[in-house]
Chains A and B, each alone.
Chain A
Amino acid sequence: MSATRLSRRDQILLKCAPIGEKQIDDRSLRTAVHHARNTPAFATQQNFDKAAAALVQAIPIPKEIIEWVPTETLIVPERTTWKKYVQNPVFLATGIAALVIAVILAFQLIDRLNRFPGEPTARRLLTTAASTHSVILDPVKTNAGALGDYFFMKHRLAHYDVPAEFADLKTLGLRVFDDEEGQRVAQVWAVEKKMQFFLFPAERDPKSGATKHFNGWRYVDQDRWTGVVKEEGGVCFMAALRGSQGDLAPYVSKPKS
């Protein structure tokens, strides 16, 4: 075995090379044998070993021993365990690829499940919330629950009601404005946690004009602001604050009073 071509590791392994290639169950040994396959020294070693093994095979085994236990039954074939499958690079690569695809699909599924009609508007209004100062709002100090009548009476906005979960919160001010799509949006500034409420028309089907309904509260995040949105009577209500879902969860999880 030429030292110039074979690594020291290969040289060590080749001295253990089994006489038949079928018995090579180790990847590094198989590689070493592949490297040395055409070297005269390895051929000499294999011929040496084959001759010696043939001599051993010629050692007579007492007949009664062969009758008792046939040679092939002495070594039980090794079971292929799940660990061996895992260590196989092909299975490993396939497994990792499948895992990555599964994670991506899971993320897409979760993202799809979290989508709701009116989500783009809600995100846009979160940006508005982040940039709005209370000075631009009309000062109205009352309970948020009382604003439904105010919006209807003053701005003719029907069903712009604050849901029961947020109805008891005190307000500081409000304004009504047209967003970039020309929709009438009501913005309310609450005292608690500098929270802001938005009321805006629910998304409609462009063909039929029917309101796209959805049930329950849906969360939406944008630039460290979080909103929780509910649709009722064709109007979406969103409570927004600078924080996480955990900050809003206590409000929407409490029973309606």
Chain B
Amino acid sequence: MLADAGKAQEIFHATLREAAQLAADGESPRDRLWFFRNARWRCLEAVEQGLQAEDVDIEQGDLAERAPTQIQQLEPEQFATWIAAAPDPQRTALAFFYLNEFSYRDLLSVTELKPPELSKFLGNGRREFQAWLDATFPPSQS
């Protein structure tokens, strides 16, 4: 979400503190996805204070069989930076989807998107990422 480990850690601590505070007050969050929702909004607030991703048309490419090989050549931080550069709510959709911890319904709930919206953001995200992979690792090299 942030591509900044330091900020991410601050947000994690802040979220944990709030959860502890609520629990101490006897108001433990009933929402099982509360931790992620809270962290997400904190991330979005943090991002608002920094550079904003522009909502521009990004080149897209068809998903290719070579994609796994291209992805293996990436450093995790590069992928994190790529996702963090996406405009929200696409960034949220991609970040939570590739965490691979959520079921479909959880994903809809935590991203606060409708199925066609989530589908569009994930579908476009994949195609944009493929275009970026092709630009970074041209097919002839991979």
List A45-64 residues whose CB lies under 8 Å from chain B.
45, 47-60, 62
Interface size of B as a range: 35 or more
Report the minimum CB–CB distance from B49 to chain A (whole Å).
22
Q: A24-B103, A62-B9 are in contact. Are A48 and B123 (CB under 8 A)?
A: no
Q: Is the C-beta of B68 less than 8 angstroms from some C-beta in chain A?
A: yes
List B116-130 residues whose CB lies under 8 Å from chain A.
116, 118-120, 122-123, 126, 129-130
Report the minimum CB–CB distance from A43 to chain B (whole Å).
9
We find that the number of chain A residues with CB closer than 8 angstroms to chain B is 40
B106 touches A75 (CB 8 A): yes
Q: Is the C-beta of A89 less than 8 angstroms from some C-beta in chain B?
A: no
Report the minimum CB–CB distance from A226 to chain B (whole Å).
57
A237 to B77, CA, bound (A): 96
**Which of A41, A51, A59, A69 meets B80, CB within 8 Å?**
A59
Which chain B positions have C-beta within 8 A of A68? Answer: 16
Q: Is the C-beta of B58 less than 8 angstroms from some C-beta in chain A?
A: no
B104 touches A45 (CB 8 A): no
A143 to B135, CA, bound (A): 111
Which chain A positions have C-beta within 8 A of B80? Answer: 56, 59
7 further interface pairs, Cβ-Cβ under 8 Å (given A13-B115, A44-B67, A56-B100): A15-B123, A23-B102, A24-B103, A51-B72, A59-B77, A69-B16, A76-B32
Give the B-binding residues of A (Cβ under 8 A): 12-13, 15-20, 23-26, 29, 41, 44-45, 47-60, 62, 65, 68-69, 71, 74-78
Give the A-binding residues of B (Cβ under 8 A): 5, 9, 12, 16, 32-33, 35-36, 63-65, 67-68, 71-72, 74, 76-77, 79-80, 97-107, 115-116, 118-120, 122-123, 126, 129-130
